[in-house]
Chain A
Amino acid sequence: KAGVTQTPRYLIKTRGQQVTLSCSPISGHRSVSWYQQTPGQGLQFLFEYFSETQRNKGNFPGRFSGRQFSNSRSEMNVSTLELGDSALYLCASSWGQATYGYTFGSGTRLTVV
């Protein structure tokens, strides 16, 4: 069965620009969570969507936003990019409860120059 698909795999953007990342979860999974991974901070929780509603949010500025569509696919957007936004952005899908574990995509490597 198909895993979690994230596109694009790599992205280079300039400071001040905005970017949209996409995530297609495993078929049937209704929850999508987004994480930012950097060498210094590790995996930091951004937000979680369940049935098109944001159910949980981490401690990131409002420049980071997301949405989920009726087919469970999710997008996250970062506006006014800063150098510090350079990171691996990971999407994870599950049936709905964190208790039983997540399946992660391969991530989108974003570089801001």
Chain B
Amino acid sequence: TQLLEQSPQFLSIQEGENLTVYCNSSSVFSSLQWYRQEPGEGPVLLVTVVTGGEVKKLKRLTFQFGDARKDSSLHITAAQPGDTGLYLCAGAFNGRGATNKLIFGTGTLLAVQP
């Protein structure tokens, strides 16, 4: 079974605080992606990390791919109310033929209070 576990499931913080969301699996992925989803809409791709150990920064968001390409983390610095949403990690398997698939983590619901 291919599973992606995210933690924490829920997070309620005050504006200006920092937070980290974790995404773990026993499977090796060709890439790890992070999406944010708002109510009633589809997920929107934030970042794709491909190389083990890779770190990408997107303004106040920092994404890291584990060395073994099995896990990832998302760190938000000085969270703002606009960061509120459901954060989903997704692991991609080799993009050839029947193994081409993206599986999603269990999700982290973030609420940033003003």
Q: Check A100–B48 contact: CB distance below 8 A.
A: yes
The answer for the CA separation of A44 and B33 in the assembled complex, in Å, is 16
Q: From B20-28, B56-64, B88-96, give the one contacting chain A.
A: B88-96
Identify which of B96, B97, B101 contacts A45 (C-beta below 8 A).
B101
User: B44 at interface (Cβ–Cβ under 8 A)?
Assistant: yes
Instruction: Provide the A80-113 mask, 1 if CB < 8 A to any CB of B, else 0.
Output: 0000000000101000111111111111010000
Q: Are A101 and B48 in contact (CB under 8 A)?
A: yes
Q: B105 to chain A: which residues have CB within 8 Å?
A: 42
List A contacts of B103 (CB < 8 A): 45
Residues 26-63 of chain A, each 1 if its beta carbon lies under 8 Å from chain B, else 0? 00000101010000001101001010000110000000
Decide: B43 and A98 in contact? CB cutoff 8 A. no
Measured between beta carbons, the chain A residues less than 8 angstroms from B97 are 55
Instruction: Closest A residue to B92 by CB, please name it.
Output: A98
CA A105 to CA B31, docked complex, whole Å: 21
- Secondary structure call for the A interface: strand
Flag if A107 contacts B41 (CB, 8 Å). Answer: yes
Q: Which residues of B contact A100 (CB under 8 A)?
A: 31, 48, 95
Complexed CA–CA distance, A96 and B35 (Å): 19
A48 CA / B92 CA spacing, docked (Å): 13
> B82 in the interface, Cβ–Cβ < 8 Å?
no
Using a CB–CB distance below 8 Å, which chain B residues touch chain A? 30-31, 33, 35, 40-45, 48, 50, 88, 92-107
Given A42-B105, A106-B41, 6 more pairs with CB closer than 8 A: A48-B101, A50-B100, A97-B100, A98-B100, A99-B30, A101-B92
List the interface of chain A (C-beta within 8 A of B): 4, 31, 33, 35, 42-43, 45, 48, 50, 55-56, 90, 92, 96-107, 109
Give 7 pairs: A residue, B residue, CB < 8 Å, sorted on A: A33-B102, A43-B107, A90-B43, A98-B93, A100-B95, A106-B40, A107-B42
